[in-house]
Amino acid sequence: MDVDGCNGGCHLDGTVQSGSDKVEEHQLNCFRDSLEEEGKNSLTGENMKMGCGGHCNNYCDPAISSPDATVKLIEEVNGIDASDACTTDNKQRNSLSLVTLPPELILVIFSFLDARFALSVLTGVCRLFHHLLSPESSWKTRFGKRWRQRDKREDYDYVTSWKRICVQHEDMDRFWQDPVASLDFYELKDQHFATVDAVHVMRGGGLCISGARDRSVGVWNLNALCVPDEVGYGKKSFKQALDGHRGWVWCLSSDPTGAPRVCSGSWDSKIKLWDLQGQNVEMTTISTHKAAVLCLSWEQEMLISGSYDKSISLWDLRAGNIISKLKNHSKPVLCLSVDDRFIISGSEDKTLCVYDKRAAQVYKTVKLESPVFSLCHSSTCGYNYLRVGGREGRLHLLDTTADKFEEITPSIELDSNGKISAMCHYGGAVVACSSDKSIKVLEPSRVLSVIHSFDCHSGQVASVSSRGPVLASCFSELSIGIWRPKNLRPAQRI
């Protein structure tokens, strides 16, 4: 039998791939010829190599051959009991392990396993697995093969971690496979009697707070929500109303440690802190602005606020005094994004200002074509993107690699006629809401791709917020929308 040029591996069905040609039943034929020529009654690796002239690079080893093919060969050629032959070569067959396979083949096998499992478990099995799964190049290759339609070179320069991207995209595919069937939707209403402009999901996803033009802050217990068709679930989930502001409640935030403390900013120029467990619910009132408080961010024991008076205030919650006041905008500050190093503010003056958090000084100012209504940093999704929501459905992208904060052109245009009022991360994707009543779920990459659209609101959507498995929205219909996976429904009491 001529097997010259056979450099491929023998498949379990007895075929071998050599370039573009397939040689059917190569393994059985080459073994049969060799055994008949040598007149031997045992099936060994030496016989197999002899039969194919050693051209199969050990892929014809019985340890990785099909058991059915081996039994068939033994019975046909040797004329002896298959169990005896298998016992003869049992030692060699037992010596096979995953680590003896070529590294490329091991990575192919790993590509069928969950990325999170591979990173958390397989990397700790042995040094070989750790060595194969550590390089970013392995995960870049995995991403390109698994998601060819998403593998865009435009994103390559803005990737922070291919490992994180693979994990995020697997989670995203599972989560958004069928959102209509997998997510419950609840509409919480009949508590506010004016437009709801702010919503915030607290850490853990058990509580949600809302702020409205009726000057009140609503507290909702999401653990009380069971079946969406249950009568009166909105009234059942409402926990309490926090009254004290003399103007519209426009922005909300909560203690990042998970403690039941929240803060609210209002058009009365005041910031109020509330303790949801204490007897005296209102803890303190902060008067650091001369006009409406439009945005808030609670970072550790620092409260950062942006105002209609064009300034940003940094307040020390422990000492109870102001740390610094930043003023670089010529019009109202509409939104904030804060991390460990930077405070980023967007304004109606069509500029985005980046401040050094420790130095409390301007780091960079970026001019845009539109007022900045919302901000969303995608570093948690594996990309160095800062998304900036503008008017007429325009989405600007900034490159944050090496703290550059440079605009990436051209900007992205969503199928929307209103301003992008808010954005957040949910289910591995980016959720953007608009004043045109739409809520769109976008892929976190640079290339625009709408995964899903929520069509549950008939009024303007003012804000969205997410924490863990819960997504919340508020709109001009005096109500709040809640989405949560059906498998997280609390157990009903009998």
> Would you give the DSSP letter of residue 403?
G
Q: For 59-69, how does the pLDDT look when each residue is reduced to its tens digit (9 = 90+)? A: 344 333 344 44
Q: Give the residue from 431, 430, 330 showing the smallest Cα distance to 372.
A: 330
In this prediction, residue 75 has a pLDDT band, given cuts at 50, 70 and 90, of very low
Amino acid at 118: A
Segment (H or E) for 115? helix 115-120
| Phi and psi, residue 210, nearest 5° | -135, 145
3-state DSSP assignment of residue 222:
helix
Q: Give 303-319 pLDDT, tens digit per residue.
A: 999 999 999 999 999 98
Q: What is the pLDDT of residues 156-171, one digit of tens each?
A: 888 888 998 899 899 9
Domain 98-176 CATH class label: mainly alpha
| Spatial contact of 340 and 356, defined as CB atoms under 8 Å apart | no
pLDDT of residue 92: 53
Average pLDDT of span 395-414: 87
Question: In this predicted model, what pLDDT tens digit does every residue of 176-198 receive, in sequence order?
Answer: 999 989 999 999 988 898 999 99
Q: How do the domains of the chain map onto residue ranges? A: 98-176, 179-485
35 φ, ψ to 5°? Answer: -70, -35
Pairing mode of beta strands 238-243, 21-23: unpaired
Confidence of residue 374 (pLDDT cuts 50, 70, 90): very high
Q: What is the mean pLDDT of residues 127-134?
A: 93
In percent, the amount of the chain with pLDDT more than 70 equals 79
For residue 69, the one-letter residue type is: A
Query: In angstroms, rounded to a whole number, what is the distance separating the alpha carbons of residues 293 and 221?
Result: 26
- Top mean-pLDDT range of 144-148, 235-239, 324-328: 324-328
What pLDDT shows up at residue 89? 53
Give dist(CA 346, CA 363) in Å, integer: 14
* Stretch 319-326: mean pLDDT: 92
Q: In the structure, what pLDDT confidence band is assigned to residue 48 with cuts at 50, 70 and 90?
A: very low
CATH architecture for the domain at 179-485? 7 Propeller (2.130)
Q: State the pLDDT at residue 109.
A: 92
Residue 93: predicted pLDDT: 54
H/E segment holding residue 302: strand 302-307
pLDDT given at position 53: 39
Joined tokens for residue 383: 């990309």
Whole-angstrom distance, CA of residue 358 vs CA of residue 89: 70
Taking only the tens place, the pLDDT of each residue in 248-292 is: 999 999 999 888 999 999 999 999 999 988 766 888 999 999 999
Separation of alpha carbons 77 and 33, rounded Å: 9
Query: Token pair for residue 36?
Result: 């008949």
Do the domains spanning 98-176 and 179-485 agree at the CATH topology level? Answer: no
Decide: 434 and 461 in contact? Cβ < 8 Å: yes
Q: How far apart are CA 337 and CA 386, in angstroms?
A: 9
Model confidence over 21-38: pLDDT tens digits?
Answer: 444 444 445 444 444 444
Position 416, amino acid: S
Among residues 299, 380, 378, 371, the alpha carbon closest in space to that of 335 is found at 371
